[in-house]
Chain A
Amino acid sequence: MPLETYINVIIGGVLTGLVYGLMALGLSIIFGVVRIVNFAHGEMMTIAMYVAVVAFSQFHLDPLLMMVPIAAALFALGYVMQAGLINPFINRPEHSQFILLVAVALIMVNLLLIIFGPDAQSVQTSYSLDSYEIAGVIIDATKAYTGAAAVVLSAALFAFFQMSRTGQSIRACADNYTGALVVGLNVKHLYALTFGIGAACVGAAGSMLVLLIDVTPALGPGYTLLAFIIVITGGLGSMPGALLGGVLIGVTEAMAGLLFTPSAKSMFSFALLVIVLLFRPQGILGKATR
């Protein structure tokens, strides 16, 4: 195969991986702050994808524009889930939190099945077949837009957590729960905000992803798992790690599709996870725990 093919596929993998990274960032933020593993992560993204599909098929609204209202809607869903459902479970044992979120995930998958049926749906935009050619490298236009959007949103999130007072307060809660109560932070509100932000990440990622893949209700669990693989590969609790993990998984999947068969891509993602865990158990950018 000519070298350009490899380069094209790698660039495509990086761009798709950035969207994966944004999705995984949501999981990482929720886990890093609330210490809850969102087992409904992929399912929430599937909901976002269906909203984007409906907005496009019924109202001809471009998913790239719908990204903003969908992220806002998922923020609201996440806030309400944390405030109403998960906060009461915060001090309960982990297995009951696990069961709670798995139950939420099952309900989401089955609601989607009831509403939309099991068949795959997709979005065909006017630019879905466009591409750019830069120095002999062909870049898919859709992937370029979604990749760029994922980078912009991730950068905005970094800035929010570093620079805004609310972002600092959320980091403070993650840093020391007791300390947050001591200074009078409204921890439950901040947890709900955090879950909302994590959900907004999957909301935005979901609207982008409908441009890249077909959506079925059964997609959820696979993407929940993918988000885990990415977060653990990149390093639990590291925001840049989630993005880097997403990019690595994106490239791995793309290369597996090129060199073997697209259906084998999950196998290679797991292989990457195993290799990283063998040589760097804390993940690539994760900090070793004491």
Chain B
Amino acid sequence: MLQIANLDVFYGDAQALDAVSLEVAEGVIVAIVGANGAGKTSLIRTIAGMNRPRAGTIHFRGQDIAGWPSFKVCDLGIGQVAEGRQVFPTLSVAENLEMGAMLPRARAHRERNRDRVLSLFPILAERSKQAAGTLSGGEQQMLAIARCLMGEPQLVMFDEPSLGLAPAIVQDVLRTIVQLNKEGLTCILVEQNVAVSLKIASHAYVLENGRIVMSGTGGELLGNDKVREAYLGM
């Protein structure tokens, strides 16, 4: 579904990604593991068209989308649950959801998708008139996921969806991701909770200083001594 080859990304002179190559097959969860500043968010933003790569290709369903503007990338069905949630704080919950459905691909199915995400997250229906900025962290995360689903994505990139959430809610969020994946959604998952993300991922890549240093099935990496030492604290 997604093939990335030799991607280089720079901020000024500082290189954030160095010859990154990876592949995401249809219907899987792929985990990206890496320390703070490794380049995980940069990778996601580059796929999403929010950063321009200096070199490399990003093929989505056979089309090279490297350097495309974000609104075109989104309309292909590549959604993002961004780092820091990025909800619209002064817009109501309902308006936030509407904004997720502005993509040409999703406009026609707005009602159906709204019903679907509200049955997935009933709390958002209760809060629909409330300004998104007044929601709790967990509710904002649900809103970010729901808003993303309003765009009918086929691939969703989750960037630290559980950051700052209480453990019980972390479980909810991860369970939701697994559930969505079972319904056919392809996922890229960046998650600080490395053990869990490797458990639910069918494939995983380890990113260090902008380079992919290791990859394998989730199980392989879970069993790898270096990974256990560096990311699982064992």
Contacts and interface: CB of A to CB of B under 8 A. Distances in A.
Interface residues of B, number: 27
Contacts of A156: none
B43 to A, nearest CB: 15
B90 A183 contact: no
A172 interface: yes
Tell me if A's interface is mostly helix, strand, loop or mixed.
Answer: helix
Contacts of B151: 183-184
B14 to A, nearest CB: 17
Interface string A178-220: 1111111111100000000000000000000000000000000
Contact of B102 (A179, A181, A184, A188): A184
Contact of B87 (A179, A186, A187): A179
The binding surface of chain B is classed by DSSP as loop
Contact of B88 (A165, A176, A184, A188): A176
A142 to B, nearest CB: 38
B34 to A, nearest CB: 21
B48 interface: yes
A182 B71 contact: no
Interface string B36-57: 0000000000001110000000
A181 B74 CA distance: 9
Contacts of B73: 184
Contact of A172 (B69, B82, B99, B103): B99
Contacts of B147: 183
A280 interface: no
A57 interface: no
Interface residues of A, number: 18
A181 B95 contact: no
B75 interface: yes
Given A165-B98, A168-B95, A179 B88 contact: yes
A172 B89 CA distance: 9
A176 B75 contact: no
Contact of B90 (A169, A175, A178, A180): A175
Given A181-B70, A184-B73, A185-B71, A171 B102 contact: no
Contacts of A176: 86-89
Interface in B61-112: 69-71, 73-75, 80, 82, 84, 86-91, 95, 98-100, 102-103
Ranked nearest first, the 6 interchain pairs of A and B with the lowest CB-CB distance are A184-B74, A179-B86, A175-B88, A186-B71, A181-B70, A184-B71
Given A181-B71, A183-B151, 18 more contacts: A165-B102, A168-B99, A169-B99, A169-B102, A171-B88, A172-B88, A175-B90, A176-B86, A176-B88, A178-B86, A179-B86, A181-B50, A181-B70, A182-B48, A182-B148, A184-B74, A185-B71, A186-B71
